[in-house]
Structure 1
Amino acid sequence: MIQCIAIEDEPLALSQIESYIKKTPFLELVDSFDNALEALEFLDSQPIDLIFTDINMPDLNGMEFVKSLRNPPKVIFTTAYEEYAIEGFKVDALDYLLKPIGYPDFLKSANKAKTWFDSQQVKPIETTSNDDFLFIKSEYKVIRVNFADIKYIEGMREYVRIHLTHGKPLMSLMSMKKIEEHLPKDQFMRVHRSFIVNLSKITTVEKSRIIFDENIYIPISDQYKDAFQAYLDKFFL
């Protein structure tokens, strides 16, 4: 399932997008908003896969909203103005839906999103590990990943993305629970249902977020906050 949010300041248009998402089998509507500022606050603590957003909105328009995101999900823009199409693709939008939007056009865009997400997945991996590294079997390759090279691990529903200090992330069809079982508990901690962090890579904590760099903010959810605070307290002067 592709987790989605919808942003639209017109109630009827928002209701329409909500109904289209709900009737599409591979999409899941996580939440909807009538302004981009509320959506911005939501995304601070809730990673999702795909955003359907109008461009023309008060306070913060859809284009400015997407450009402001540090870790932007994939985006499909909806608007009544055709001239925004080129600008939309400049921010790596998956597609552009011109109002009024019929379900056939919506489904075509949704299928385009599904094709993109499917292309990011690889075959399931098997893992073996010891105190220093993890062996990952992916398709016909066996890849050694040193624990010291892992910055954080991101759960994306059916698969995980292992973010490394160098190089591209490794992706695999695997649950967060399974990868967590293979990680040393004194080096890694789950701080959110979608994130496991390498404790040795943490340099800055701000409010309820771990900041790895100016573009990467990892939320600390209430469920894991006490355990994370206990870890910090051990080294706090």
Structure 2
Amino acid sequence: MIKCIAIDDEPLALQQLVTYISKIPFLSIVGQCQGAIEAKQIMENEVVDAIFCDINMPDINGMDFVKSLASPPIIVFTTAYSEYAVEGYKVDAVDYLLKPFGLDEFQRAANKVKRVYEQINGSDPSSVQSVSDGSEDASTLFFKTEHRIVKVDIADIVYVEGMSEYMKIHLISQPKPLIVLLSMKKLEERLPANFMRIHRSYIINLDKIIEVNKNRVIIDKDAYLPIGDLYRDTFNNYLNTRFLGK
């Protein structure tokens, strides 16, 4: 089931979106709202695979809202203004519905959402795959993120941050983290020995540690990561094997 939210500042238009979504068997509505601020709040608490979003809204317009998302889900824009169509495709919207639209047009847009969702998720629920010549020390991983499959050098990973069903993968080479649908356990199994879980929400690249300060690991000037009680002994044992001094 593809989890969706509907966004439109006009109550009747919003109700139409919700009604159409409810008529598509592979779509599930997890939130409806009249503005981008409320939509962000929903996305903080719900897994959202697709957004059906109006463009002209009073607080933040739909286009700017989508651009503000670190890892946007699948987007379908709805608007009464045809001049937004080209701009809509520039932000990787899978479709653009010009108001007023009927159920047939909505069904075609929903089918595009379904195709993209299946391309992202595939029949294999895993979102990560190692690439190697058969050895276990593969230096590259592929991650499914947004509507792309991204190749990542393992050495480029600084740390991984868990967020419910999603993870943020912080890289040296990119200012923004990759956001992927994947469990910490599954990624932990695929990472080499120089990665260690130090907290239920953090896996770190041990080679990137700058300092250990009491119950925190400092990775860089902006990353102070806590050491969880369940992981403290294992981490301290690692430090003891490399500690020089009295």
Secondary structure of 1:96's partner?
strand
The Cα of 1:112 is off from its aligned counterpart by 0.4
- TM-score of the superposition, structure 1-length normalised? 0.62
Q: 2:100 is aligned with what amino acid?
A: P
Over the residues paired in the alignment, what is the CA RMSD in angstroms?
A: 4.6
CA distance in 1 between counterparts of 2:164 and 2:86 reads 29
Structure 1 residues 119 and 99: CA distance shift in structure 2, 3 A:
same
Percent identical among aligned pairs is: 41
- TM-score of the superposition, structure 2-length normalised? 0.60
Q: Is the 8 A contact 1:187 1:199 kept in 2?
A: no
CA distance in 1 between counterparts of 2:12 and 2:204 reads 45
Q: Is the 8 A contact 1:81 1:98 kept in 2?
A: yes
Would you say how many aligned residue pairs link Structure 1 and Structure 2?
198
CA distance in 2 between counterparts of 1:11 and 1:166 reads 44
CA distance in 2 between counterparts of 1:198 and 1:25 reads 41
The Cα of 1:49 is off from its aligned counterpart by 1.8
Runs in 1 of length 4+ with deviation above 4 angstroms? Answer: 44-47, 134-138, 140-143, 145-151, 153-157, 159-167, 183-186, 199-203, 225-228
Q: 2:183 is aligned with what amino acid?
A: M
Per-residue CA distance 1:102-158 (angstroms, 9 max, x = gap):
1111111111011112122355389xxxxxxx98589x988735876654388997x
CA distance in 2 between counterparts of 1:226 and 1:29 reads 38
Structure 1 residues 19 and 41: CA distance shift in structure 2, 3 A:
same
Identify the residue that residue 92 of structure 2 maps to in structure 1. 92
CA distance in 2 between counterparts of 1:67 and 1:43 reads 15
The Cα of 1:226 is off from its aligned counterpart by 11
CA distance in 1 between counterparts of 2:55 and 2:25 reads 26
**Structure with greater contact order relative to length (CA < 8 Å, sep ≥ 6):** 1
The answer to whether residue 183 in structure 2 is matched with residue 176 in structure 1 is: yes
CA distance in 1 between counterparts of 2:64 and 2:182 reads 34
Structure 1 residues 124 and 88: CA distance shift in structure 2, 3 A:
closer
CA distance in 2 between counterparts of 1:16 and 1:227 reads 47
Per-residue CA distance 1:62-85 (angstroms, 9 max, x = gap):
112112222222210001111211
The answer to whether residue 197 in structure 2 is matched with residue 187 in structure 1 is: yes
Q: 1:176 is aligned with what amino acid?
A: S
CA distance in 1 between counterparts of 2:164 and 2:75 reads 16
> Runs of 5+ in structure 1 lacking a partner?
127-133, 211-224
> Runs of 5+ in structure 2 lacking a partner?
141-153, 209-218, 237-246
The Cα of 1:22 is off from its aligned counterpart by 2.2
Identify the residue that residue 28 of structure 1 maps to in structure 2. 28
The answer to whether residue 18 in structure 2 is matched with residue 18 in structure 1 is: yes
Question: Larger Rg: 1 or 2?
Answer: 2
The answer to whether residue 120 in structure 2 is matched with residue 120 in structure 1 is: yes
CA distance in 2 between counterparts of 1:137 and 1:66 reads 32
Identify the residue that residue 101 of structure 1 maps to in structure 2. 101
The Cα of 1:98 is off from its aligned counterpart by 1.1
Q: Aligned runs of 1:149-160 on 2, under 5 Å?
A: 150=157, 151-152=159-160
The Cα of 1:52 is off from its aligned counterpart by 0.7
Structure 1 residues 31 and 198: CA distance shift in structure 2, 3 A:
farther
Q: Is the 8 A contact 1:125 1:137 kept in 2?
A: no
Q: 1:187 is aligned with what amino acid?
A: R
Secondary structure of 1:14's partner?
helix
Secondary structure of 1:30's partner?
strand
Structure 1 residues 32 and 198: CA distance shift in structure 2, 3 A:
farther
Q: Aligned runs of 1:204-219 on 2, under 5 Å?
A: 204=222
Secondary structure of 1:120's partner?
helix
